[in-house]
Amino acid sequence: MRFSANTGFLYRELPFLERIGAAAAAGFDAVEFHDEAQREDPGALAGALAAAGLPVLGLNVRMGETAGRAAIPGAEAEARADIDAAAAVAGAVGAGAIHVLSGRAEGDAARAALVGNLRHALGRFPGTVLIEPICRAANPGYFLSSLDQTLAILAEVDHPRLKILFDCYHVETGDGDCLGRFRAALPHLGHVQIASLPDRAEPTGGRLDYARLLPAMVGAGYAGAFGCEYRPSEPPAAMLARLRARLAPESR
């Protein structure tokens, strides 16, 4: 199994470029970004990635105070500028995906704005475009709040490169039955993220048993990396070593 360090959560005490080297030193197989990369010098970012030898799996569009704005009616021009900026950085660093955040909004106008902006993203970026259901408990008012709603958006846009970012923390908190939901949505999944419940700490404790859940996901057909997007209470290297030890066949 491959594990990706989410730099928006891990190593927050370090400057952004130093987080990439820290992830490599800890033994992660890849990195994924929130929207930090759009604020860095492209040459310096490319140099840090080359030195670390880690691929970039994906990055977020600009988040801001509204956690994105792709579903905010009247903000289409700004949302599309955010998408274009993320696509440019993703292309420069070889990231395979961009995550288009909907922001806090509701109603039919919000849905129409999101659908239009996703079609714009698919036209501007040749890789995977991700959308993520974020549970109400974590982000009240966020437009995409359930897996069923997210699947309905995929059906409306109807494009093979539009995929779901399946965050186990959000799905289990908002929908329940994480593994069952995963299996049902598997053909539409582009990336999986992990953290513990209920506190979003290391994915080595809490209500979700990842030592059983991750092998079940791989067994169901998931071949991607698992993004570690959690609030660390210890060095991430220690968590990663412990998680891999628990996943070793002889430990199960």
Tell me the catalytic residues.
Answer: 132, 229
CA distance 9 to 54: 17
CA distance 76 to 10: 31
CA distance 124 to 141: 28
CA distance 18 to 12: 10
Q: Are 208 and 198 in contact (CB under 8 A)?
A: no
What six digits make up the tokens of 214? 């991750």
Number of H helices, E strands in the chain: 9, 8
CA distance 156 to 41: 37
CA distance 153 to 149: 6
Residue 129 bridge partners (DSSP) = 98, 162
Question: What is the identity of the amino acid at 115?
Answer: V
Q: Residue 51's Cα: distance from chain center in Å?
A: 24
Give the residue among 153, 161, 207 at the shortest CA–CA distance from 58. Answer: 161
CA distance 104 to 144: 9
